[in-house]
Amino acid sequence: MELKENLGLEGKVVIVAGGGAKGDGIGNGRAAAILFARAGARVFVVDRDLALAQRTSEMIGAEGGEAAAHAADLTDARECEAMVAEAMSRFGRLDVLDNNVGIGSAATVVEESQEKWEQVMKVNVEVMFLTSKYAIPAMIESGGGGAIVNISSISALRPRGLTAYTTSKGAVIALTGAMAVDHATDGIRVNCVAPGPVYTPMVNRGGTMSDASREGRRKSSLLEVEGTGWDIGNAVVFLCSDWARYITGQTLVVDGGVTLTSRARGHDSEG
C-alpha cells in the first residue's frame, strides 16, 4: 500500500492503447497494464482484437486489480473518440494514456511501397495523434492534470536500415516534445520510451524467432540481459507516476546499453 501511495497512481484511470498480446505472453502494453493495476490504477485495456484485451483484463482481475477491455481500430478517429468516451463513462475520469500501438517495416525508400509507407506512418504516428487528441480534453475535464507516454524505439536514435519504421519512431519523439510544450499549462506531462530489442510475443512472430536470433539479441546488450515487456512497462509506469512529476518532453531509452555499442544488424525491428 505504501508503494501505491508513493507512486500516486491509486484510483487513477489509465487507458493502455495496444494492451493485448497473444496467449499469456507479455508485450509492452500488457506489462504496463498489469503494472498500472498493481499500483492501484483502474485500467482500460484497448486492442484491435477484443479477445487479447480481455485476456489482459482477466490477468489483472486474477490479481485483484480493476480493469475493463475495449476493442477499437485506433486508425479511425471515431473509434478513438469512442474509446475515450467509454473510458470516461465507465470510470468517470481519465488520468493516463499509454500509447503502444505500432507496426514494423524493413524496406529501404527504394524498396518500400507508397502504401506500406503510409500504413506505417498512420499506425505508428497518426494513432498517437488521434488517441491524444481525444484523451487530453478528457484529462483536462477530469481536473487533475495527466500523463501520456508514447512508445518509440531506439531505431529512431540509431538508424539501421528500417527506413519507414525508423522515420515513424523519430516522429513519435518529435510529437512527444511538441505535445509536452503544448499541454504543460494543462498540467499534462508527455514523455516517450524508446525500447531496445526486448523480447515480446510480437517480436517472436508467433514462435518463429530462432534460439540463435534470440541469443544474439540478448548479447547485443552491454549487460547481456534479455529485455522484456516488463522492462518497458516499468519505465512507462515510472514516467506516469508522481516519482516523475518533474519530467516532461523526454525520451527514456530502455535498451541495456545497446545503443552505445551495436552497429546495424539487418532488418529486425526493435521495440
Q: Which active-site residues does the annotation give?
A: 165
- Going by C-alpha positions, the residue among 241, 224, 227, 233 that lies closest to residue 193 is 233
C-alpha cell at position 24: 499469456
Grid cell in block for residue 74:
485506433
Q: Output the nine-digit C-alpha cell for 261.
A: 555499442
Matching residue, cell 516522429: 171
User: Residue 166 and residue 242: Cα distance in Å, rounded?
Assistant: 31
Pairing state of beta strands 146-151 and 188-195? parallel
Report d(CA 165, CA 108) in Å as an integer.
10
Angstrom distance (rounded) from CA 8 to CA 245:
10
Q: Which value, to the nearest 10 degrees, does the dihedral of the CA atoms of residues 105, 110, 115, 120 take?
A: 30
Angle between helices 163-183 and 127-142 (to 10 degrees): 20
Count of residues for the chain? Answer: 271
What lies within 8 Å, CB to CB, of 150 at 6+ separation is 99, 128, 172, 175, 176, 190, 191, 192, 193
Per DSSP, helices labelled H in the chain are: 2-7, 28-38, 50-62, 77-91, 114-121, 127-142, 163-183, 201-204, 211-219, 229-240, 258-261
